[in-house]
Structures are given as structure tokens and as C-alpha cells.
């Protein structure tokens, strides 16, 4: 770490100390949680925080007032975005006009637009989580951070503030042309200070494709860590980022309303769950009961530190599977597959492992992009972006038929670009079959 980075680091902790040192205390608490190796002991340690959340909710909100006789967390109902939106005032602990509250919102580009309120205490815990998980993979406060995302106006920092916190904003839509990537690469090669990447894998992919195009060797630019967020990380992007920047890359699972839920660690393909700040359940896809061991299920989260809009047994809309959850080991995620409506089903109605889908870009490297849309039980369309004629089209179809079913109907549509969502992210899987079925069921229930 150079002198200026050390000054940034020391100034950061000095300011925290002047404010009471609360962030440092939170970070110490998180570290202590992760030193525990027994799941029963971890739950016992977090029990007072969970009990405080549940007691506050039943005594301070209309929505949870009927649950005052609860014995365990499982006595509470599972909620989702729609339930929270429809009962927002009854669920909130603190009136939403309180000036001390902070708003956390998602655009709804991959689902329902959604917002919750957080206390400053919750926001501080989130910041401590970010520091812990970044440190765990090699990033240190004060290092330069190259942040690739859709930089909407509300997120952008002033030039002075960016310099103070040592961040480079790279917009995934506007700043990843060949010319601008060349400028970015030149800049980070020239500047020898320690750096870290964080951002959308689709942004990393554009950088790697440019470096492929110019036959670049591995770059010597002092990258210490690379964290992929918000999108699935393909193996080919992982391998190329590690090659070009000579640093480990991990995938992070987080959302706007909660914060960091889990993250891969270096040399570990599973996801370490943030048990320090959340309690996580994997429930059956169709009923509010624990999924069977080894089965994919709904990721349901209880946020231990949000005492503004309590998120108790909150169905994130994502699917996941536990591993390492036997003999009192602390569970991890073996896999996170994304939202239920971004899940692919074969013709028998079974879920297709998302990594099989993403492996197509590794198996068929001539493809620039692709997207699969499931229209019905047996009908699938692949949108493909490729620079020249796809000579292996039949091999591609046969590959996916082996997973989707021999009776699947696969069509190919060639496009110039797979459009991004308003968030700048790209959906690889769109399941219109399940989406329409869910809408129909919702209308019938209504």
C-alpha cells in the first residue's frame, strides 16, 4: 500500500473513531461470528439480536401484532415483495416520514420495483459487511476501486469525492467501447497503486473481449481482487479476468434491500453466507416448508438489523441450495441460480441447472452473447449474437436438447445485440412459460 492509500485508510478509521468507533465495533462483531465453527453456537450467539427484532416487530407493527405468542422464527409468515408493498404502513416499525430513515430501493428491472427503509444502524452494519467481505478477498480500504455498473445519476459521485475515496466509475453502457476500454487499461497499467475491480460480469466480459481482440498479454497492473456482482459469472469470464489481471475473482450475492447475503471466497466455489447479519432458510419452491436436503429451493432471509422496515422470512425471489450443512457445520450456498422466473425447466418440468446454460458460452466461444426464452413446456428460443455464420448451430441445438429433452422444440434467432435491462444487467434466461402460469394462478386466486 502506498503512502496516499495508507493516509486514506487511517483517515477512514480516524473519522469512525471520532463518531464513536461504531463501524469498527461492527466489523469486530462480524469477524467474531465468522470465527465460530459450530452452527448451533452461531445461532445461540445471534439469538438475542433475532429475539430483539421479532419482539420489536410484534409489539410495534400492526402486521405482526397477531404473533406476540411466537416461540420461534418459524411461527412468522413468509413474506415477499408484493406482501410488503401491499401492507407497507402496517409492516413498518418507524413511520416513513422520520428524517432519520434511509431509503433502499431496487429499480424493478428484473421484477417488482421495491423499496424499504433502513435505520442508520442498519446502514452502518451494511457498510461493515462490505468492508469484511472485501477484505476477505484481498481489497483494503484506500486501494483504488474500479467499479463497473450502470451509473445512474443518483449513484454518481463528484470528481473531488471520487478522488478522495479513490474510485473509478465505469458505466457499463457508456464507458466500455473499445476506445474507452483502451484508455482504462492504459490508466490502470500506468498507475502502480493497489487496485480492485467490482462490478457486473457483462462489463468484465467486454473488457476481456477487447483484450482478446488486441492479443493482449497478461497485464501487470497490481490488481488485488475482483468481485462480480448482480449477474451470473460465466467460467470463461472468470478464467479470462484471472489471466489478464493476475488476481482471483469471486462472485457476490447481494440485493439492494438487504445488503451482502453471501460471497465466494478465494479458491472456494461455494458461497459463504453472511450469518453475522442475516438468518437464511431454503424453503420448498411450492410450500413454506424447508426444502429437502440437496434440493434447490427459495432463498428466504431474515434481516437481523433492519428495525425500520423489518424483513422477516423475506422471500428474495431467488433460488439456492445449501451445502456443508451436516454435523453442525455452518451452511453455505452450493449454488445461487437467480430469480424463479429466470429459471429454466426441461420438458419434464424439472429445473435445469443454470451452470449448464452458462456453460454454453464456454463450449461455444464464437458466440458473443446469447439469451434463452422458454415460451411453453417444450418450446425454447435462443437469441444469438455472433460475428459470422454459426457453423456449429446443430451441435449447439443438440447440446441443449440433451438437457432440455429430446422432445424439446429449439429455434434460433440471430440478433445484433441482447438488450440490457434498465439497470444495465442482462437476463440470460427468460421463462415466459412459468411467468404466465404464475400470473394465471394469481388471477384465479384473486
- What whole-number percentage of the chain has pLDDT above 90? 68
- What whole-number percentage of the chain has pLDDT above 70? 91
Q: What is the pLDDT of residue 18?
A: 96
On whether residue 35 sits in a domain, the answer given is no
On whether residue 359 sits in a domain, the answer given is yes
Q: What is the pLDDT of residue 110?
A: 47
On whether residue 433 sits in a domain, the answer given is yes
Measure the CA–CA gap between 331 and 319, rounded to whole angstroms. Answer: 15
> Which range (47-51, 133-137, 207-211, 382-386) has the least confidence?
382-386
Mean pLDDT of 275-279: 98
Q: State residue 372 phi and psi, 5-degree precision.
A: -110, 130
Integer angstrom CA distances of residue 334 from 271, 286, 293, 322, 326: 6, 20, 12, 5, 13
> Which range (15-24, 38-47, 368-377) has the least confidence?
368-377
Q: What is the pLDDT of residue 229?
A: 93
pLDDT at 213 over 90: yes
Contacts of 378-381 spanning 24+ positions with Cβ under 8 A? 378/347, 378/405, 378/407, 378/408, 378/409, 379/408, 379/409, 379/411, 379/433, 380/404, 380/408, 380/409, 380/410, 380/411, 381/410, 381/411, 381/412, 381/413
Q: What is the pLDDT of residue 105?
A: 81
As given in the structure block, the three cell numbers for residue 155 are 449513484
Distance of CA 72 to the CA centre of its chain: 28
Q: State residue 215 phi and psi, 5-degree precision.
A: 55, 45
More confident residue, 434 or 83: 83
Q: What is the pLDDT of residue 338?
A: 67
Burial of 159 (0-12, 13-18, 19+ CB in 10 A): exposed
Q: State residue 90 phi and psi, 5-degree precision.
A: -75, -20
Burial of 386 (0-12, 13-18, 19+ CB in 10 A): middle
Which CATH number goes with the domain that contains 408? 3.30.300.30
Mean pLDDT of 391-397: 94
Most confident range (mean pLDDT) of 182-186, 293-297, 324-328 is 182-186
Structural domain for 375, as ranges: 343-445
On whether residue 406 sits in a domain, the answer given is yes
Q: What is the pLDDT of residue 121?
A: 96
As given in the structure block, the three cell numbers for residue 6 are 495508507
pLDDT at 215 over 70: yes
The tally of domains found in the chain comes to 1
As given in the structure block, the three cell numbers for residue 173 are 453502457
pLDDT at 180 over 70: yes
> Which range (73-87, 132-146, 227-241) has the least confidence?
227-241
pLDDT tens profile 345-388: 899 988 887 667 766 777 888 888 888 999 999 999 999 988 88
> Which range (270-284, 332-346, 413-427) has the least confidence?
413-427
Smallest Cα–Cα separation from 206: which of 234, 225, 187, 248? 234
On whether residue 69 sits in a domain, the answer given is no
3-state class (DSSP) for residue 134: helix
Measure the CA–CA gap between 424 and 200, rounded to whole angstroms. Answer: 9
On whether residue 424 sits in a domain, the answer given is yes
On whether residue 264 sits in a domain, the answer given is no
On whether residue 365 sits in a domain, the answer given is yes
Predicted TM-score (pTM) of this structure: 0.82
pLDDT at 286 over 90: no
Mean pLDDT of 89-109: 84
Measure the CA–CA gap between 386 and 186, rounded to whole angstroms. Answer: 28
Q: What is the pLDDT of residue 355?
A: 65
Beta strands in 164-296 (DSSP E): 167-171, 195-199, 223-228, 249-255, 259-265, 268-273, 278-283
As given in the structure block, the three cell numbers for residue 186 are 492504459
Q: What is the pLDDT of residue 440?
A: 38
pLDDT tens profile 219-264: 999 999 999 998 888 888 999 999 999 999 999 999 999 999 999 9
Amino acid at each position: 500500500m502506498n503512502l496516499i492509500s495508507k493516509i486514506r485508510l487511517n483517515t477512514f478509521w480516524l473519522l469512525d473513531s471520532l463518531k464513536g468507533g461504531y463501524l469498527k465495533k461492527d466489523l469486530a462483531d462480524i469477524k467474531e461470528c465468522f470465527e465460530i465453527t459450530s452452527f448451533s453456537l452461531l445461532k445461540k450467539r445471534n439469538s438475542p439480536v433475532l429475539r430483539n427484532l421479532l419482539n420489536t416487530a410484534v409489539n410495534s407493527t400492526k402486521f405482526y401484532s397477531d404473533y406476540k405468542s411466537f416461540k420461534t422464527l418459524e411461527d412468522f409468515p413468509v413474506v415477499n415483495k408484493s406482501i410488503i408493498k401491499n401492507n407497507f404502513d402496517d409492516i413498518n416499525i418507524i413511520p416513513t416520514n422520520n428524517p432519520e430513515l434511509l431509503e433502499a430501493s431496487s429499480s424493478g428491472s428484473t421484477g417488482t420495483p421495491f423499496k424499504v427503509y433502513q435505520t442508520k444502524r442498519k446502514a452502518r452494519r451494511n457498510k461493515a459487511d462490505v468492508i469484511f467481505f472485501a477484505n476477505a478477498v484481498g481489497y483494503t480500504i484506500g486501494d483504488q476501486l474500479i467499479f463497473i455498473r450502470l451509473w445512474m445519476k443518483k449513484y454518481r459521485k463528484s470528481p473531488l469525492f471520487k478522488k478522495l475515496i479513490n474510485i473509478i466509475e465505469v458505466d457499463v453502457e457508456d464507458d466500455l467501447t473499445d476506445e474507452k476500454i483502451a484508455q482504462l487499461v492504459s490508466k490502470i497499467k500506468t498507475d502502480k497503486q493497489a487496485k480492485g475491480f467490482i462490478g457486473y460480469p457483462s462489463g468484465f466480459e467486454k473488457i476481456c473481449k477487447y483484450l482478446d481482440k488486441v492479443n493482449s498479454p497478461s497485464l501487470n497492473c497490481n490488481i488485488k481482487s475482483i468481485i462480480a456482482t448482480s449477474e451470473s459469472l460465466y467460467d470463461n469470464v472468470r478464467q479470462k479476468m484471472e489471466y489478464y489481471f493476475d488476481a482471483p475473482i469471486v462472485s457476490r450475492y447481494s440485493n439492494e434491500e438487504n445488503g451482502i447475503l453471501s460471497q465466494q471466497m478465494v479458491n472456494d466455489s461455494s458461497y459463504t453466507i453472511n450469518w453475522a447479519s442475516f438468518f437464511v432458510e431454503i424453503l420448498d419452491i411450492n410450500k413454506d416448508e424447508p426444502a429437502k436436503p440437496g434440493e434447490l429451493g427459495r432463498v428466504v432471509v431474515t434481516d437481523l438489523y433492519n428495525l425500520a422496515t423489518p424483513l422477516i422470512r423475506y422471500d428474495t425471489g431467488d433460488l439456492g441450495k445449501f451445502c456443508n450443512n451436516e454435523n453442525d457445520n455452518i451452511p453455505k450456498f452450493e449454488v445461487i441460480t437467480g430469480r424463479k422466473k429466470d429459471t429454466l425447466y426441461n420438458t419434464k418440468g424439472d429445473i435445469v441447472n443454470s451452470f449448464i446454460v452458462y456453460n454454453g458460452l464456454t463450449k461455444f466461444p464464437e458466440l458473443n452473447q446469447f439469451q434463452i426464452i422458454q415460451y411453453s413446456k417444450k418450446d425454447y428460443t435462443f437469441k444469438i449474437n455472433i460475428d459470422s455464420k454459426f457453423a456449429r448451430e446443430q451441435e449447439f441445438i443438440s447440446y441443449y436438447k440433451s438437457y432440455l429433452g429430446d422432445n424439446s422444440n429449439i429455434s434460433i434467432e440471430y440478433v445484433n445485440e441482447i438488450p440490457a435491462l434498465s439497470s444495465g444487467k442482462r437476463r440470460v434466461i427468460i421463462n415466459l412459460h412459468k411467468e404466465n402460469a404464475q400470473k394465471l394462478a394469481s388471477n384465479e386466486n384473486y
